Amino acid sequence: MINLEVPRKLTTLVDQARQAAMAFLRPNSRKYDQAEHTYPKELDTLASLLDGLSASGGGAGAGGVRRSGSGKSTANLSLVLGTMEMCWGDAGLLLSMPRQGLGNAAIASVASEEQLARYKGKWAAMAITEPDTGSDSGAIRTTAVRDGDHYVLNGEKIFVTSGERADCVVVWATLDRSLGKAAIKSFVVDRDTPGFELVRLEHKLGIRASDTAHFRLDNCRVPASNLLGTPEIKPDQGFAGVMQTFDNTRPLVAAMAVGITRAALEETRRLLTSAGVEIDYDKPANNQHAAAAAFLDMEADYESMYLLTLQAAWMADNRKPNSLQASYAKAKAGRSATAITLRCVELCGSLGYTEHELLEKWSRDAKIMDIFEGTQQIQQLIIARRLLGKTSAQLK
C-alpha cells in the first residue's frame, strides 16, 4: 500500500528548506528576474548549507538521488519535499543553485561508483534537446565516435539549464544512428573541454534567474571513462537506461510546479481575504462568492498534483517501477501549475498583472514546468503507451 503521509523524520528537512526559501530565495526573487543572466551571489552561502544537509542525509535542492541498496528509503521523497519548499521561494534561483542541477540527477541515476566519486561536489548541467529534435529525445543527432581512449562528439545542444555556470555538462549522444534509441548514451563533458563552445544564452519568459545555454560540439574529445553506464549497445533494452534518468527527474520538475503553485495560491488567498472575499470550506462552492468558488476549485486541482508527485517519489524510494507515475505527476503538475497561476493573476486583477506582487512572475515561471523534461504532449503519449501496452513504434 502506498503511504502518502509525510514521514515525521522529514519534518525538520522541510522546515529547513522553507526557512532557506524565506531567507534567501523569496527576498531575491524579483531582483534576479529583472537582472537576467546575473549570477546570484547570495546562493553560494545557501549552496554550502545544502551541501552540509546532503552530507548528513538530507538535502533540499534539485540534485540527484541514486537508486541502490535494499530496504525502504526516503531519499527521493525528501528531495521532492525540499524542492517544493525551495520553489515556493523561487524556482529560477533553485535551478541556479550550485551542485543541484538536473545533470547531477543524471549522474546519480546511472554513474558507476568510480564516476560518483569523481564527480562528487561538481555542478552538472544536462544537455538533451537539439535544434532539430524537439521533444523526441530518441531522435538525437549528436554523435559520439570512439577513437582510442576517447569519444569524439559532434552536434548542437540547446536549452541547457545552468550551462554557462556549471562545472560540467551531461551530453546525450548516439553511438550509432542506425540503431535508434538503444545507441543513445550520456557523456560528462567538462566545460573547458576544447571543441565545447558556448554559442549564446537565451532570453526567456520565466525562470530568468537561471541561465539557459546553447552549445556547439565540434570534434570535442571526451575520455571514454566519462561515458555514464555501459558502452555496450543492447537493442533489447532500448531506451531503458536513459528513461531511468527521466524517472528520477520528472517528479522533481513536478515538485517545482507544486512549489510555484502553492506560492500563488497562498498569495491569492491573502489578497482575496483582504478584499473581503470569504472562503468557506463548510459551504458548497456554488453558494459562495465566485472568486471563492474558483479558489476552491484551484485548491482541489493543486491537491491532485501534489499527491501524484508524492506517489512517484514514494515508488522510487520503495524500488517500484515508477515510469508511468513519473509521467502522471509531470503531466498533471505542469498543466495545473500553468492554469492555476494564470487564474490567480486573473482573480487578483491589477495586483496580479503588475509587478506589485509576484503573481505575474509565478505565472511566467510555471509555464516551463509544462515544457522541459518532456512536454505535456510527450507525457500524455508515454502514459497512453503504458496504459495500452503499445511500443513507441506502434503509437507515435
Q: What is the 3 state secondary structure string of 80-124?
A: HHHHHHHHHHCHHHHHCCCCCCHHHHHHHHHCCHHHHHHCCCCCE
The pLDDT value given to residue 233: 84
The pLDDT value given to residue 246: 80
Asked if residues 133 and 140 have their Cβ atoms less than 8 Å apart, the reply is yes
Asked if residues 83 and 94 have their Cβ atoms less than 8 Å apart, the reply is yes
Domains of the chain: 8-118 (1.10.540), 124-228 (2.40.110.10), 240-388 (1.20.140.10)
The pLDDT value given to residue 72: 66
In total, the chain counts a number of residues equal to 396
- Show pLDDT as tens, one digit a residue, over the chain (396 residues): 566 778 889 999 899 999 999 999 999 999 999 999 999 998 988 887 766 655 544 444 555 544 444 456 888 899 899 999 999 999 999 999 988 777 887 888 788 999 999 999 899 999 999 998 877 777 899 999 999 999 999 999 999 999 999 999 999 999 998 888 889 999 999 999 999 999 999 999 999 999 999 999 999 999 999 999 888 887 765 555 556 678 888 999 999 999 999 999 999 999 999 999 999 999 999 999 999 999 999 999 999 999 999 999 999 999 899 999 999 999 999 999 999 999 999 999 999 999 999 999 999 999 999 998 889 999 999 999 999 999 888 998
Q: Is 172 helix (H, G, I), strand (E, B) or coil?
A: strand
- How far apart CA 85 and CA 77 sit, in angstroms, is 13
Residue 151's DSSP bridge partners are 146, 222
- How far apart CA 360 and CA 291 sit, in angstroms, is 18
85, 130, 267, 373: the catalytic one is 373
Asked if residues 381 and 387 have their Cβ atoms less than 8 Å apart, the reply is no
Residue 197's DSSP bridge partners are 216
Give, for 160, the enclosing helix (H) or strand (E).
Answer: strand 150-161
- How far apart CA 296 and CA 290 sit, in angstroms, is 10
Q: Which of 356, 355, 375 is nearest to 367 (CA)?
A: 375
The pLDDT value given to residue 239: 56
Asked if residues 46 and 28 have their Cβ atoms less than 8 Å apart, the reply is no
pTM summary value:
0.91
Cα dihedral value 41, 43, 44, 50, nearest 10:
180
Cell of 149: 581512449
168-174 and 212-223: which strand pairing? unpaired
Rounded alpha-carbon distances, angstroms, from residue 82 to 23, 164, 169 = 15, 25, 24
To the query of whether residue 373 is one of the catalytic residues in this protein, the response is: yes
Q: Which of 116, 100, 96 is nearest to 108 (CA)?
A: 116
